[in-house]
A and B are shown apart, each in its own frame.
Chain A
Amino acid sequence: MTRVFPFSAIVGQDEMKQAMVLTAIDPGIGGVLVFGDRGTGKSTAVRALAALLPSIDAVAGCPVNAASEAEIPDWAQVEDRTIVSKPTPVIDLPLGATEDRVVGALDIERALTRGEKAFEPGLLARANRGYLYIDEVNLLEDHIVDLLLDVAQSGENVVEREGLSIRHPARFVLVGSGNPEEGELRPQLLDRFGLSVEVASPNDIDLRVEVIRRRDAFENDHAAFMQHWDAEDSALRARILAARETLKTMKTDDAVLRDCAELCVTLGSDGLRGELTLLRTARALAAFEGANAVTRQHLRSIAASALRHRLRRDPLDEAGSTTRVTRVVEEVLA
């Protein structure tokens, strides 16, 4: 069976790992966009995240992973209604997936063979309460992007077609990865991602050697390697669970709110989503670090991830958004 590389064993790429862990603590942050070169461990990290995430309690046979019997949508014919512990769903949205596959459609096979009008749930249903992963997100076709924008915003998937009228919850964390050389993302979709990180191959030779060494050990000395890193993963999972608890009692000063607003105003980011994400992410980070209040230091560590994709694009300043954010952070939080 497919073996998953442990999350903790990923060398470097701290910003990406941090962003993913933070969305696991607070799914409300709203997803991660990972942009970078090929072979930098983007997909490895997402698959590893799936194995790392704590499990959820859900109705066994429910197509949308409902948490309780009451939440099962009325169109679903669920036979097994026991509550079981499921792994957090991490669903791949492949490129070229059709609208039918994404949102669900008339179950043609049942319609034709049994003459029943039934709904066949799509990927959005399966991703409910979990993650939706889109590799090469910048190559996704526009009409699928439009669908996703709508659903990611409303948290609900509405299907009105082929004589069906169906709605079901579709709350998921959107994780996208892509290679910026192959195309850009529309600003509207960019904005839907809470955090964005840029990854690059490490330039440091020793780091590169360490990457290869661990991968080699993973493949050729699997048992020993996994024994070590499984323990690390479990520790990280425990930290995530603990942070979810801490988050409930997290205190946020007005001064921090003011900092968030000032950062966004200075950077000229559109809308208020920037402030909200900044705040939620800083709170999640504070919880992860075991602090009981958000400080400027937390803001500083996550400002680039939360804001760099929300800046107005300056065509003459191609790679500069990270620099711009860092500069403003230094000015405002000086």
Chain B
Amino acid sequence: MSDASDIWSRAALAVACFSVDPAGLGGIWVRARSGPVRDRLIAGILAGLPPMGLRRLHPNISDEQLFGGVDLSATLSSGKLVRSSGILGTPTAMLLPMAERATAGLSARLALALDAQSGHALIAMDEGAEPDERLAPSLADRVAIHLDLDALAVGDCPVLETDFDAITQARALLPNVQALPEALDTLTRLSARLGITSLRAPLLALRLARASAALMGETLVDEEDLTLAAELVLAPRATVLPQSETAEPEAEPEQQTPDTPTDPEDTTEQSERDMPIPEEILLEAVKAILPTDLLAQLTASKAPRRTASAGGTGAAKRGNRRGRPLPSRPGALDGEQRIDMVATLRAAAPWQPVRAKQQPDRTGLHIRPDDIRIRQFEEKSDRLLIFAVDASGSAAMTRLAEAKGAIELLLAEAYARRDQVALISFRGEAAEVLLPPTRSLVQTKRRLGALPGGGGTPLAAGLRAAMELAEQSKGRGMTPSIAVITDGRANVALDGAANRPQAAEDAQTLGRVIRSRDIPALVIDMGNRPQPGLKDLASTMGATYLPLPRADAQRLSTAVSVALDA
């Protein structure tokens, strides 16, 4: 583990390299909370920038500001077409604060600008507090330097000095810097061993190595430059620990004592392949700075993001494109929004005589920018509650009647909130959609009352039916949640065979699929005794688990409402 001053001196080198070739390196991603440490770094970066534009973006920046468009205020006041040029029109260093908040749309646009190689560079300041709150992967992939300064205190971080002469000389030298083909091979192989699939990484690493060589006043990339490139560009992107091919996957690299003879990596690496020596050196350098919690981070990032909270009414989206119209509001036209022509004219109308007196030579309507009204819509997606009810023999014996009662109570509640409900039952060999999504209370009650019991427990088939229904309803703009009500003794596999282990495995697999589709779920155990297997299934699905050994319909209903509204 490298200590604070190491991190800071590496950051200083990164900033210097970035100053040499900002556009080539694409940018810097700084992950740090707002504070003096970050301020010092940003000050250093800005001081070293070549004479190019510097613009501050914000996560909700409009297309108009990015790409340019009609300058409406100027157009209206002068009466002829005036266009404004956007930020992306000229080579610019773009400072993006709160980078973790940038939407997929903005990230895609910025990624496009970086791809165009027209001289843009991005300085992304990421203040994300949670591991999964971070710069969009599409952008992270395109900026060379990733710095994580969260662990630093301001005392560790002296003010960055910018050596303008060295940087100017390095910029002049950069086009002449050569890299041996072996250097390129080494970086590519190394990134493959670190599990970096993107091919942008070795390219960016090579560019960083060139910048570093230029900074040293050399015209050939040497080992030192490659090491720096590996540390700054490749190490933060690593997704596997380099020795994981043979060692235990859980084994943390022994970074404090890399020379310990018992360390498995030494033996494996030497026997593994005949590597050129520099690659091993680079690998050591990278390993030395790999975060100790890499594995924890990996599992965190593998688990799908669960952004949507389970339940409540469907997500309300306030937008300006469709949905229920809201009152228009004053606003500037930015090419994104739709103008409410009538409201705009209405706002302008009272002023016409006054304005006509002010500008007697103009004919037609006098409309000023502040008259413009923008349309707004609010869209609320319907919540859909999918009940997957176990109607097998074992369940029927115990509490099917109670489950029915609970569902009826929930139905009444759903009716009051205008939610939609769907009903799936599984028994015997397969699952059946008894009722497609509906708001009809009567119909649901009737189907539910007639729900027959008996047969095996094809839990996996029930889960699959529920998931398919959820996916379909998502496509139709609904927000689905799944409530599985079962006693958990899955004994019929997906193919309909009575095979208990296979049935359990199929159920687990489907649980994972449901989780990966990000569908909120709830597992209600109506067995006489809570089933540990069901609890596992619930955690696989990312679902809330509710054991209800002695619940009546009223308590079941309350529990479901609480869990779904949480």
Contact = CB atoms under 8 A, between A and B. Distances in A.
A2 B120 CA distance: 12
Given A40-B199, A211-B199, A315-B513, 5 more contacts: A37-B197, A96-B103, A108-B339, A216-B184, A316-B506
Interface in B63-80: 63, 70, 72, 75-76, 79-80
26 contacts: A3-B117, A37-B197, A39-B199, A39-B200, A40-B197, A95-B109, A96-B63, A109-B75, A112-B75, A113-B75, A113-B81, A135-B108, A135-B111, A136-B108, A136-B138, A205-B188, A205-B192, A211-B199, A212-B188, A213-B181, A215-B203, A216-B179, A315-B468, A315-B513, A316-B494, A316-B510
Contact of B105 (A94, A209, A212, A316): A94
Given A39-B201, A94-B108, A212 B184 contact: yes
B338 A100 contact: yes
B13 interface: no
B335 interface: yes
A37 B513 CA distance: 20
Which of A37, A213, A216 has most B Cβ within 10 Å? A216
Contacts of B242: none
B137 interface: yes
Q: Classify the interface of chain B: helix, strand, loop or mixed.
A: helix
A29 to B, nearest CB: 26
A37 B138 CA distance: 10
Q: How large is the interface on B (under 10, 10 to 19, 20 to 34, 35 or more residues)?
A: 35 or more
Interface string B202-233: 11001000000000000000000000000000
B510 A315 contact: yes
Interface in B167-215: 179, 181, 184-185, 187-189, 192, 197-203, 206
A204 to B, nearest CB: 9
Contacts of B509: 316
B321 A136 contact: no
A38 interface: yes
B138 A38 contact: yes
B117 A212 contact: no
A182 B116 CA distance: 23
A98 B339 CA distance: 13
Nearest to B338: A100
Contact of B104 (A1, A136, A213): A136
Contacts of B441: none
A43 interface: yes
B367 A201 contact: no
Nearest to A187: B475
A108 B188 CA distance: 52
Contacts of A92: 112
Interface of B: 63, 70, 72, 75-76, 79-81, 103-106, 108-109, 111-112, 115-118, 137-138, 141, 179, 181, 184-185, 187-189, 192, 197-203, 206, 321-322, 333, 335-339, 341, 364-365, 367, 464, 467-468, 475, 477, 494, 506, 509-510, 513
Contacts of B467: 315
B189 A205 contact: yes
Nearest to A186: B475
Sort chain A's interface into a size bin: 35 or more
A296 interface: no
Contacts of A215: 199, 203
A212 B187 CA distance: 10
A41 interface: yes
The 4 closest A-B pairs by CB, nearest first: A39-B198, A96-B105, A201-B197, A95-B105
A38 B75 contact: no
Interface string A72-108: 0000000000000000000010111011110001001
A314 B187 CA distance: 40
A118 B70 CA distance: 16
Given A139-B104, A316-B494, A94 B118 contact: no
A228 interface: no
